[in-house]
Amino acid sequence: MKITDKKVALIHYTLKNAGGEVLDSSEGHDPLAYLHGEGNIIAGLESALEGKSAGDKLEVSVEAAEAYGEYDESLVQPIPRSQFGEHDVEVGMQFHADTAVGPRVVTITAIDGDEVVIDANHQLAGEDLNFSVEVVEVRDASEEELDHGHVHGPGGHEH
Ligand SMILES: [Zn+2]
């Protein structure tokens, strides 16, 4: 069976950045299960998997724009320290916030006196990504999975 729209694919993957540093891997875990054609995984990886079947191995390079987007300077902004009230602030802290581009995970990247600089870019924004992928299994999706637009069970949603 080949990976086409509305099939469930289970894949093992290792993700490296352009410098060869491992950022994420399914090794030692269940394979990742996703519903093909639903945008469950980044676009560049999904299109490379189209037509593949169990046992296929592939190396996929995805440019930043097709992965988590280019780094956007306008998503970096200073906010007053007072907005955090009594909470401690530290460089590297992350929290959910409403931003100009919708709800995002933002990271504190600098603290300068009464000013806290937050960055709403995805942590992998601006990174060209290299995936080593092995297709483990391809199966039909259940009615319920198609209805929800994602995979249930091992490697997918538990509900
Ligand atoms: Zn569901």
| CATH at 51 | 3.10.50.40
Mean pLDDT of all residues belonging to the chain: 93
Establish how many alpha carbons lie within 13 A of residue 29's alpha carbon, considering only the half-sphere containing its beta carbon: 14
Distance 123 CA to ligand 1 centre (A): 27
The pLDDT of residue 132 is above 80: yes
Range of the domain at 14: 7-68+125-148
Q: Are residues 53 and 96 in the same domain?
A: no
Q: How far is the CA of 152 from the centre of ligand 1 (A)?
A: 6
Per-residue pLDDT at 103: 85
Q: Are residues 48 and 80 in the same domain?
A: no
CA of 146 to the centre of ligand 1 (A): 9
Measuring CA to CA, which residue among 4, 9, 5, 6 is closest to residue 134?
Answer: 9
Could you tell me if 95 and 51 lie in one domain? no
The answer for 55, left when phi > 0, alpha when psi is -120 to 50, beta otherwise, is left
The better pLDDT of the pair 88, 6 is held by 6
pLDDT tens digits, residue range 15-25? 999 999 999 99
Query: Are 64 and 135 found together in one domain?
Result: yes
CA 60 vs. chain centroid, Å, equals 15
Residue 30 within a domain = yes
Q: What is the mean pLDDT of residues 68-92?
A: 91
Predicted confidence (pLDDT) at residue 158 exceeds the cutoff of 80: no
Give the CATH number, domain containing residue 96. Answer: 2.40.10.330
Instruction: Assign 121 a pLDDT band (cuts: 50, 70, 90).
Output: very high
Residues 14 and 83 in one domain: no
Burial of 61-87, coded b for 16+ CB within 10 Å and e otherwise, reads ebebebbbbeeeeebbeeeeeeeeeee
- Reply yes or no on whether the pLDDT at 98 is more than 90: no
Let me know whether 100 and 83 are in one domain. Answer: yes
User: Would residue 154 count as lying in a domain?
Assistant: no
Q: Whose structure tokens read 């990886």?
A: 45
Residue showing tokens 């169990």: 54
Calculate mean pLDDT across residues 120-145: 95
Structure confidence at residue 116 (pLDDT) = 95
Does the pLDDT at position 151 exceed 80? Answer: yes
Decide if 58 is inside a domain: yes
* Separation of CA 36 and ligand 1 centre (Å): 15
Residues 12 and 62 in one domain: yes
Report whether pLDDT(130) > 90.
Answer: yes
| CB proximity list for 155: less than 8 A, separation 6 or greater | 10, 30, 31, 32, 33
Integer Cα distance of 132 and 146 in angstroms: 27
Our count of domains for the chain comes to: 2
Mean pLDDT of 36-51: 94
* Average of per-residue pLDDT across 24-40: 94
133 and 56 both lie in a single domain:
yes
- For ligand 1, the distance from its centroid to the CA atom of residue 8, given in whole angstroms, is 13
